Amino acid sequence: QSEAQAHDEL
Amino acid sequence: MNIFRFAGDMTHLISIVVLLLKIYATKSCSGISLKTQELYVIVFLARYLDLFTDFISVYNTVMKLVFIGSSLAIVWCMRMHRAVKRTYDKELDTFRHYFLVLGSFVLALLLHEKFTFQEIFWAFSIYLEAVAILPQLVMLQRSGNVDNLTGQYVFFLGAYRAFYILNWIYRFFTEPHFSRWIACLSGLVQTAFYADFFYYYFISWKNNAKLQLPA
């Protein structure tokens, strides 16, 4: 899981 | 994205539309806590610092812009609009929200995923969102009588949080490396704040009566 995807929620 | 997450985002959006509708249609913000609204502006600005650095999807980017824009518009109306700001129940909205900001920031400095500028502000926004509804809930409790649209607004906000919890449960079982304890724990705390409100909301709904909170 890449870093950017860690905050994929709003 | 699963259906729970989408339902959560949509109820969040609906809550904002309901609030804007109330303010525009009735030219009144009575019963609405300016402090909670200001906290949401801070929450969105702090969390969406990644708007220009990390791209997730068009959906995410548009929603982030909508949340930032709508929260700014609401605060602008309550502070600047001549007719609306007269209806603000200032004397009922006395929660010391600066402590929430300060406390959330200190907590973010202590508990975060990484010690970077963006990650600190991300954690700060998560903690602050968890407590941002408190001035609004305290205000509702004080006024006792809750008008229809204000009740719907808080109801949809609570529904948004409940759907996000279902979303995490779903992701926990369907994604191999799903772990985000900061967001999940804060989310649980945040949803718990709505429990009392939901209880009285459903009672009034069942009895087909006006929503009233005990003093």
In a domain, B212, yes or no: no
Smallest Cα distance from B176 to chain A, Å: 10
Query: pLDDT exceeding 70 applies to what percent of chain B?
Result: 100
Q: Is B145 helix (H, G, I), strand (E, B) or coil?
A: strand
Residues 6+ apart with CB under 8 A from B153: B15, B18, B19, B22, B32
What is the structure's pLDDT at B48? 97
In a domain, B32, yes or no: yes
Is B17 part of a structural domain of the chain? yes
Do A10 and B183 make contact, defined as CB atoms within 8 angstroms?
A: no
User: For an interface test with A, which of B56, B122, B124 has the most A Cβ atoms less than 10 Å from its Cβ?
Assistant: B56
User: pLDDT tens for residues B17-43?
Assistant: 999 999 999 999 999 999 999 999 999
ipTM of the complex: 0.85
B129 within domain boundaries? yes
Q: Is residue B211 part of a domain?
A: no
> How large is the average pLDDT for residues B129-142?
96
User: Does some domain include residue B15?
Assistant: yes
Residue B86: pLDDT over 90? yes
pLDDT digits (tens, 9 = 90+) for B103-127: 999 999 999 999 999 999 999 999 9
Domain that holds residue B57: 3-206
Report yes or no on B174 lying in a domain: yes
Is B148 inside any structural domain? yes
Residues from chain B that touch A2, judged by Cβ atoms under 8 A, are: none
* Chain A hits for B63, Cβ within 8 Å: 10
Q: Do residue A10 and residue B54 have CB atoms under 8 angstroms apart?
A: no
For residues B201 and B39, the answer to whether their CB atoms sit within 8 Å is: no
CB-based contact B96:B54 (threshold 8 Å): no
Mutation to test the A interface, candidates B1, B12, B54, B57, most A Cβ within 10 Å: B54
Domain count, chain B: 1
